[in-house]
Structure 1
């Protein structure tokens, strides 16, 4: 004990010296400005459980390009349109590789979302772009999606006739899930009437996105990542296995039909396309069972959760802003009429509805920090050095509230997009819900169609109101942060036929 006390001052002095040398090295590297890191933890104490908000607050002090040390990892944050353009357009090649969370584990080996910017990623990305999300493919399967939204309208009508509360997020999620499963497998994975099954799938997908974005010691201290101290990697492995069992059953069923000589196609769905490509190109295609599992996981997790969350947030904002709700209803009545079913072809005529979706993307971007990228080389950005290996976050949530771009940025005001040539497809950097550059979300064409289609279906022919207790207390706007930004308290509302 005496020996330890004798060495203690030397130990403290040594650690303090190392800390000072680290701060000096930080200054010499010409990193972007940022808060002074504490020993060991760096700036982790400043992030909290709502990092999109805390990073936006820090950016007001340190500027739209700032650096933090999160544990042992240098992290650079872009919080403005101009800085985001530097990363995602001007120097996109340097930042085209994703930094993969440790919890994702083996899934990253075949995931289009996680693979590095390399030939295998380009091959899989090309397959998705040409065989699933190309306009002619989406147009060919339009009838399948129309069936699903008609089922949604009928389901809402039944609940409306009973005066029952409707869990908007759940019905939107179930519809999105089946829109995807019809496009990929030509069959439904659940139904709107199966409250237990659809809720279980929704909870599973929500748990995956939440765990993927959960603060993880392994990500902040890579040297101890193998220990998986929080057990997130083990937990994610179990959740992925549950999804893979569903996908394996679909692939096995289709392959048995083919082996039995049944040459009928399932409406030319994505699974048929993948099996055809794999049979034609063999190993060159790289479409083994593990790769298919990862593709389907990416599509269902990203497509169902983010799209349904956007619809739910849009309904929340419309219910909080009755004048906007009235304008949306008026436009639908003029374009479609009260007695007609909506079709995808109507969306182009619904300019106010499109503005509602853009405003929802601005205030509630599905991925508020996008997916993190990693610098592949040391590069100068806006006069500062971003070192090789640094993690890069683009805070699109903060960009949506930039007072230099948006007047009254915290106010829901779809009118700001009427007559304003701003889109969300990666060309206008003030609105980037799907990202930009090489890693822009490949599912954006389908997600855009589904969000507008489902939202229009919920509004067409129905008036909506809040339950009395919610109306008196006000809607709880608390967010639950993960890879996606979802509503912590589900929106339940009452529909009335118009």
Structure 2
């Protein structure tokens, strides 16, 4: 008996040592860096993974493998291989790898983002496509988006025309963050937690605290996840995750109850996502866990990514006065100086749309696509990818591949006037929102908001770098993370270019 008790930890220790070797002998795996026992290639990884993987692709080829502990990971870095992953093997790679954090926050995969492909995923995907992100609902919610963008313009105008600030640079991240924060809370919960002076109510403070804590958790290294064989030593990590999820659920249930009572009083529902989900709950047989998880999917996917994309795009415009001027000439020609732009103007602003596309090409919101998981043995690029392998698509590397793009590192929106490239999953050269079964259902919403914010910034202001800084000296380095902020928050000097009456926001109660 004593010998058997000693044998168990020995076997547990040997499994992560032997398993990668067995896989190498059994399958023709893609080449890659040599893993160490237990930790795999964790010691090799640089903090900014998508850049690290792009460098490794130069050494090992456009498809390579690595081990994170004993889990086989496969990374693809060009258009042809992305097509194999997202189209030809789409169904076989439609599952998700969930770690403890995503398992907890998705309530065991009951949401959309982290659910495995199957009946539940198909059902919630249908809800999103037909109900939440339908063209009709997006149009109905347009006043909210335009209201928040004009609030941003008014705030920038007030700050830059303040006698103490004239000619000085502003830190742009806070303005973009306010738009993203208010827009997503109004879309999801029907609430504007933050007023025009930036004052947040109590429920809003709790919401912001939850979001802030979620970002901290996302950046935290969980040793029990990094080395699963020693997970028992880090039991406290589970408590951190479960406490955060409990806090999210408590707030969400309070808001759901408020909306339920309001519908009983008025006899109808509004277009906000929480109302839509509660109205559709019985029709689609959605559990409370799924409703809560879907709402937080919308928040986590739609808040940071929007403000990040606009900050990168705006930074590129400040660095490129030629592009800025050309976009403004188009805006002046189409919109003029007697009114402000609306989303209905987009179709007449092809260069502005190209500016947004070029920003999303160079700086996709998630440079590494969320991980796919193989549900059976398949082949990619002539190599074996065994069942259970985690597959990553390096969107950042694909969008900068010189074999695909002419002058790939240049910010040149004209490329999209010369070649009409789709960015909603049909053209594998440009994949800011993914493709196939797992494509982001809110892609059009994100495109509309990013284009609107960049358009208003260009129409209302001329932008210059801070005093003493040349445009090309703006820092465009990235911070590590699943979504990638600019390492140095963007500073820019705005100069108003329209009549002052066009900077006043007319609040929309919706």
**Could you state the TM-score of these two structures normalised by the residue count of structure 2?**
0.86
Distance in 2 (alpha carbons) for counterparts of 1:390 and 1:135: 36
Alignment partner, residue 501 of structure 2: none
Q: Match for residue 7 of structure 1?
A: none
SS at match of 1:495: strand
Q: 2 CA distance for matches of 1:145 and 1:370?
A: 26
Answer yes or no: is 1:120 the counterpart of 2:120. Answer: yes
Write the distance in 2 (CA, Å) between the matches of 1:488 and 1:199.
Answer: 26
CA distance in structure 2 between the partners assigned to 1:464 and 1:202 by the alignment = 30
Give structure 2 stretches of 5+ with no counterpart.
1-12, 498-510
When structure 1 is superposed on structure 2, of 346-355 and 143-152 the one drifting more is 143-152
1:34, 1:161 → 2: CA distance?
56
Match of 1:10 in 2: none
Once the two structures are TM-superposed, the CA of residue 64 in structure 1 deviates from its matched residue by 0.9
Pick closer, same or farther for the CA change 1:493–1:242 going to 2, 3 Å: farther
Task: State the SS of the aligned residue for 1:148.
Answer: helix
Residues 463 and 300 of structure 1: CA distance in aligned 2, closer, same or farther (over 3 Å): same
| One of 257, 269, 273 as aligned partner of 2:262 | 257
C-alpha distance 415-30 of structure 1, shift in aligned 2 (>3 A) = same
Instruction: Kindly provide the CA deviation profile for residues 287-325 of structure 1, in whole angstroms up to 9, marking residues without a partner as x.
Output: 32x322211111111101101100000011111111111
Distance in 1, Cα, partners of 2:98 & 2:336: 48
Distance 1:418 1:210, change over 3 A: farther
Separation (CA, whole Å) in 2 of partners of 1:299 and 1:495 = 32
Equivalence for 1:304: 303
Contact 1:145 1:182 in 2 (8 A): no
CA shift for structure 1 position 133: 0.5
1:495 alignment counterpart = 494
Q: Please name the residue that 1:12 is paired with.
A: none
Larger deviation, residues 31-40 vs 396-405: 31-40
Which sits farther off after the overlay, 36-45 or 233-242? 233-242
| Matches of 2:402 and 2:139, distance apart in 1 | 39
Residue of structure 2 equivalent to 1:275: 278
Q: Partner residue of 1:390?
A: 389
Aligned mate of 1:64, from 43, 55, 62: 62
In structure 1, distance between residues paired with 2:435 and 2:232: 32
* Structure 1 unaligned blocks of 5 or more: 1-14
Mean CA deviation greater in 31-40 or 439-448: 31-40
Query: Aligned-pair distance for 1:160?
Result: 2.0
Tell me, what secondary structure is at the counterpart of 2:194?
Answer: coil
CA-atom RMSD in angstroms: 2.8
How far 1:180 sits from its partner (Å)? 2.5
In structure 2, distance between residues paired with 1:219 and 1:23 = 22
Q: Aligned residues, how many?
A: 477
Which residues in structure 2 correspond to 1:129-168 (within 5 Å)? 129-162=129-162, 163=165, 165-168=169-172
Post-superposition offset of 1:70 = 1.7
Counterparts in 2 of 1:326 and 1:245: CA distance versus 1, 3 Å: farther
Show structure 1 runs of 4+ deviating over 6 A: 18-21, 195-203
In structure 2, relative to structure 1, the CA distance for the partners of 1:473 and 1:146 (3 Å cut) is closer
SS state of the match for residue 478, structure 1? coil
- 1:377 shift after superposition: 0.7
Per-residue Cα deviation, 1:319-365 (whole angstroms, up to 9, x for no partner)? 11111111111111111112311111111221111111111112111
